[in-house]
Structure 1
């Protein structure tokens, strides 16, 4: 055994290499004149192996001194040591390839060729005239040249980023700007893998259409940055235009508030991502987060100013052309003549100490709301107290459909259905306080109610307006009397007999007292329906053809919706 293996084992490394981890591929190496006439035994994958260093094998037990990504130069040991077992040992060490001279090629057998192909180890046989020093100096020169090119490209890259930050470009043009300078094909996606921005020349939307965050289970080592920071990510293989592609998904630093993915398109055979590319990826993530934070701060500031304007708008009591012009300027659009107030109350509210989170959520709601298909661009958005406020102007058509779409949108956006929407009537812009009061009254009614409805138009409260106060509550004694007289006997009967009289009565009212529609809805015969209605008349001592009795029963059913949650459970 040798005590000083490095005295006979030449490992070519130079100052600065480990610090910045410059690598070249075998394919790049073969373009140099030293290797132009070389004989090559490799496959599509092995020719892309990365090379860090080159080692001359001058001792039999070289394996224990080998490091990953090394090129092994073999001379006379090709005759004595080059067999399938030795190739397996080299593969276990993760070498980049083997370099020898053509005169030693005669010692290569079909078995060793098969083994090298299996383990993705390329074999390169240079002309006999080249000294080993020429080979090692070639690797060194190529890495040095690549280092210079990387530095130049990095300088251009940083200049482009500074220019990007100086311009007024939005958040959806970063990827194309980077592609123009670096030729990187990249995209940005949110935490649900919805595209935020993408470079051109590739159908990103189609490529990740079927990909979900749940599919990203196995995080892999992708490589190291120039500063030797380990980078992990996910690999996804997709087919686009009959071409197999590999997408690399790198999640941003999770300690930040907003999670997003940077997606990099690379050749299908790529195993390790080059250090300079990973360093660029790291910078791109930081730049995007910086500009996103800046945009969010601007949006939050604008929302605060708009909320102050809304407070003033609520105080108007008579036409004020000058004030209307001022508000139009602040809000960025001309105030319409009439508006309806729509109030949204999120029941999953945060406490006062989490004000920043509330503002962020409202900011995201505003941004996504205006991007929704059902939205009228003239709709104004504010926040006041615990409400999100929409002002719906004359230009909004089919308000019923709008509110229904809004309810579906909120359920998706909030990821829960614990919210209420109250809609006031339409008033001139200088009487918004009235519409606000009605919308708030409607929300409070829903909160007091036990109904499953998520929204309430004030105008549809009907006769219940006479019995509700400003908090949405009604006279409890009156509720008890009406319920006991016109509803309680039916509820007790259903509980004792497992009947469906209440459901029948409710369907009968909802279908405008039509026997045919009600029986069809309940999947019962019309005779069965008549028998149930007769039983209801008997229990309540009423006549369902009498308008007064019908009004009392309907009122009892509506007031029953306003039971407290405790009463409901009882």
Structure 2
């Protein structure tokens, strides 16, 4: 149902004798109520969209003051003024009509045979009848949509039903400017709506009120209404009107519609939070620092596969933390504004990263530290530029700072926890690069630290490949050769120092080193190769 406008009010049978005085009167003004008064300071207490009834008795000797009243009422805004001409004012002076025409302010003449009381009651009765129809219509809308929510109807189904009821193009946007759904709209209208919303999103976030605007130089009108899920405006309903100056939808109907959508998104929040709990629990079990048995590891791999984790040759963990939330408690199940923000950002990050990168970047929550964990499964993704864009956009939209910390690269899923804990540590001991103070990069301490990212199986394979039978010797001769080789490398390849430390003759050392070179199939005079051998000896000593 549409709101009452002056043009429709004047079509009522009992009010058809009212005459429009000025030619340029805007009869499309909304009329929400009627007031009858002779008080000069009426502007101070009359509500907006009021149609004022008066005899203008106070202005019979000074119609210039009536011009000032018209200007003030127009700014309110007021629907217009109906004057009973002939009782105190014989006729309106030209300057009064001119001012009204310049403003498009409607001036109506009440016939002499009708009293102000009669006109007042006829108008008010008609407006109330119209409002009663609106109320019944709104209650029917509420009942229909409430049943849809109880039946777990999708957002698209809710929008489709609303579109049929309003018969206008409608859209739902989230606070990041993403179009979540539409009804009765063409692709061109969707693009127009997205452009308009993106230009107004900053203004909308700064206020709770309805926003209105025009598109294409006045060809299309639209209104935007905030939808509150719990304590925060999380989405926005945009109604695109199909004709210039088309009346807005009844406030009764809109209140019920916005309430229903608020219920839908509130319910959606809890569903999303259930997912957050499940994914957070999985991540904790995956990265906990304790040895897992074969059965537990296999179950985690199967569960991870359902979430998008795959076997590949590269992994890196990056943590994004909401720095303003540090030290605060995550309250559940009663969400406050900051919890709603966390959940909204989680959904947005999942859409931005998992969708765009085809799940080669996965997002896991960590509510205890107000963080988001990004599991990168492809080297080229989540570069510094991607992190900068996420940081800047989140700051622009919500005024929140997302601070990043990067773990080391690992090459097997079994060593993923190493990258995760290095990412957590990098918040404190990582290094900053390129003057960016919100991205902490992992800084390896030494080559041994770097090799910790390899699994035991990978280390064993590398050591056997380089040391051959000297990697894990079984017989006494091989054990003696390995001991000699290690001492020789520790002594910087000095035959004399090695012989002195082992208390054997120099020729014996020369023979053993030559025998080692035959087994290794390589020359120990190569410094790079010697370093690899020495490193493998260190690792195999620990096994």
Please report the TM-score for the alignment, with normalisation by the length of structure 1. Answer: 0.57
8 Å CA contact 1:422–1:455 kept in 2: the answer is no
Q: Tell whether 2:406 aligns with 1:424.
A: no
Alpha-carbon contact 1:339-1:391 (below 8 Å) kept: no
Q: 1:336 matched to which residue of 2?
A: 310
Counterpart CA distance in 1 for 2:452 and 2:340 is 31
Query: Alpha carbons of 1:159 and 1:140: their partners in 2 closer, same or farther (altered >3 Å)?
Result: same
SS in 2 for 1:355: coil
Ranges in structure 1 where 5+ consecutive residues have no aligned partner: 1-21, 220-231, 472-546, 553-570
Equivalent residue, structure 2, for 1:71? 52
Query: CA offsets, 1:533-568, max 9 Å, x none?
Result: xxxxxxxxxxxxxx989xx9xxxxxxxxxxxxxxxx
Answer yes or no: is 1:25 the counterpart of 2:10: no
Task: Confirm or deny that 1:153 pairs with 2:134.
Answer: no
Q: In 1, are the aligned partners of 2:163 and 2:183 still within 8 Å (CA)?
A: yes
CA contact (8 A) 2:138 2:256 kept: no
- Partners of 1:65 and 1:392 in 2: how far apart? 67
Identify the residue that residue 354 of structure 1 maps to in structure 2: 329
The structure-2 alpha-carbon separation of the partners of 1:23 and 1:74, relative to structure 1 and needing over 3 Å to count, comes to farther
Contact 1:324/1:335 (CA < 8 Å) preserved in 2? no
Corresponding position of 1:294: 267
CA deviation profile, 1:317-352 (whole Å, cap 9, x unmatched): 658897378626xx7457634475432234638556
**Aligned pair partner of 2:215 in 233, 239, 244:** 239
CA–CA separation in structure 1 for the residues paired with 2:271 and 2:357 = 22
- Residue 205 of structure 1 aligns with which residue? 194
Q: Measure the CA separation in 2 of the matches of 1:383 and 1:51.
A: 49
CA contact (8 A) 2:55 2:83 kept: yes
Distance apart, 1:52 and its partner CA: 1.8
Conserved 8 A contact 1:239-1:245: yes
Question: Could you give the per-residue CA deviations for residues 208-245 of structure 1, whole angstroms, max 9, x where no partner exists?
Answer: 3433525988x8xxxxxxxxxxxx836553323x5345
What SS does structure 2 have at the residue aligned with 1:168? coil
Per the alignment, residue 509 of structure 1 pairs with none
2:358 counterpart of 1:382: no
| 1:257-294 deviation per Cα after TM superposition (whole angstroms, max 9, x unaligned) | 455555555787699x88x51x5444444444433232
Specify the alignment match of 2:280 in structure 1.
307
Structure 2 residue runs of 5 or longer lacking an equivalent are 396-400, 454-525, 532-543
Task: Provide, for residues 351-406 of structure 1, a one-character-per-residue CA deviation record: whole Å limited to 9, x for no partner.
Answer: 5651349976664444223322642236544346867444455xx5xx22444565
Partner Cα separation in structure 2 for residue 451 and residue 65 of structure 1: 65
**Per-residue deviation, residues 164-186 of structure 1 (Å, max 9, x unmatched):** 32233445665554343245765
Distance 1:407 1:259 in 2: 24
Question: How far apart are 1:162 and its partner, in Å?
Answer: 0.4
Structure 1 segment 404-423 matched on structure 2, within 5 A: 404=384, 406-412=386-392, 415=395, 416=401, 418-423=403-408
Residue of 418, 424, 448 corresponding to 1:466: 448
1:67-124, CA deviations, whole angstroms, 9 ceiling, x for partnerless residues? 632432549x799669443353465465732155899998345333213324544233
Matches within 5 A, 1:36-51: 36=16, 39-42=19-22, 43=24, 45=26, 47-50=28-31
Aligned residues between the structures: 419
1:303 CA drift (Å): 2.4
Change (3 A) 1:377 1:255: closer
**Structure 2 match to 1:181:** 165
- Residue of structure 2 equivalent to 1:437: 418
**What's the CA shift string for 1:134-154, capped at 9, x where partnerless?**
644531441232022112211
1:317–1:433 Cα change, 3 Å: farther
Q: Normalising to structure 2: TM-score of the pair? A: 0.59
CA apart distance, 1:50 = 1.8
Query: Secondary structure of the equivalent of 2:209?
Result: strand
Aligned: 1:143 with 2:127: yes
Distance 2:149 2:91 in 1: 60
